[in-house]
Amino acid sequence: MKVAVLGGTGSIGIGLSLRLAISGYNVIVGSRSKDKAKEKAEEYKKILRSEGHEVKIDYAENEKAAEICDVAILAIPCEYIYSTAERLKEALNGKIVVSPAVPMRREGKTFFYNPPPEGSAAEKIASILKDSKVISAFHTIPAKKFADLNSEFVWDVPVCGDDSNAKTVIINVVNSIKGLRALDAGPLSSSRLVESLTPLLINVALRNDMHDLGVRFV
């Protein structure tokens, strides 16, 4: 299965690209710039080779990556994710599209959930990508630790979506990554509950000298 990580050159994109390639998915690193995508894909292959993984990683401009993939993960900051979804709408028709987006605002040292009027980032994306199957996941994964292939973690990943087949595909994608356990967290409208966990994790980390917090349901 071809998984495009659009904005796969950024913080959360690194861990997703590396770890999904290890899982055996045909990963395409997407970027606004083909040169940047190529450079990052080479860098990721080097990291993987140094860890003993001889795997293929492809690269493409976001639009091309969206066209050729089966699943697209929108690893793009919230400020730009909606306009990117608009731009890639045609290319993403019929595809499974994953939103890890967490809209937040900051007041001094405190982060707050800052959803759009649609209720959550995922629902706003679904309102744009009417012909795609939008699923939300990966919101509570701390990017830095996730990118480090030598780090160990046990995190749960709540997955939300309205298309049960697409949700099952993404649950399998999540479960393919060592240390992650996917949990069905309900319809896409439940994304607002999951997205709001991330500012809480950041606020707790900041005040208690903790790092790289994730969630576990026990």
Ligand X SMILES: NC(=O)c1ccc[n+]([C@@H]2O[C@H](COP(=O)([O-])OP(=O)(O)OC[C@H]3O[C@@H](n4cnc5c(N)ncnc54)[C@H](OP(=O)(O)O)[C@@H]3O)[C@@H](O)[C@H]2O)c1
Backbone angles phi, psi at 135, to 5 degrees: -125, 145
Q: Check binding of 66 to ligand X (CB under 6 A).
A: no
- Interface positions, 41-60, toward ligand X (CB under 6 A): none
For every residue of 112-168, DSSP letters joined together read EE---TTSSHHHHHHHH-TTSEEEE--TT--HHHHH-TT----EEEEEEES-HHHHH
Q: Check binding of 31 to ligand X (CB under 6 A).
A: yes
Among 13, 161, 199, 214, binds ligand X (CB under 6 A): 13
Q: Check binding of 12 to ligand X (CB under 6 A).
A: yes
Q: Check binding of 78 to ligand X (CB under 6 A).
A: yes
Nearer to ligand X, 23 or 191 (CB): 191
Any idea what DSSP says for residue 188? Answer: G
Q: Check binding of 159 to ligand X (CB under 6 A).
A: no
Among 4, 9, 128, 192, binds ligand X (CB under 6 A): 9
Roughly how many angstroms between the first and final C-alpha of the chain, as a whole number? 31
Which is nearest to 12 in space by CA: 104, 120, 100?
A: 100
- Interface positions, 82-121, toward ligand X (CB under 6 A): 84, 100-102
Among 10, 116, 119, 186, binds ligand X (CB under 6 A): 10
Q: Check binding of 142 to ligand X (CB under 6 A).
A: yes
Q: Check binding of 19 to ligand X (CB under 6 A).
A: no
Q: Check binding of 73 to ligand X (CB under 6 A).
A: no
Number of residues that bind ligand X (CB under 6 A): 25
Backbone angles phi, psi at 167, to 5 degrees: -65, -40
* 34 CB-contact burial (10 Å; exposed 0-12 / middle 13-18 / buried 19+): middle
Q: Check binding of 3 to ligand X (CB under 6 A).
A: no
Among 2, 34, 36, 181, binds ligand X (CB under 6 A): 36
**Contacts of 74 by beta carbon, 8 Å cutoff, 6+ apart:** 6, 7, 81, 84, 85, 97, 98, 99, 100, 101, 125
Interface positions with ligand X (CB under 6 A): 7, 9-13, 31-33, 36, 75-78, 80-81, 84, 100-102, 138-139, 141-143
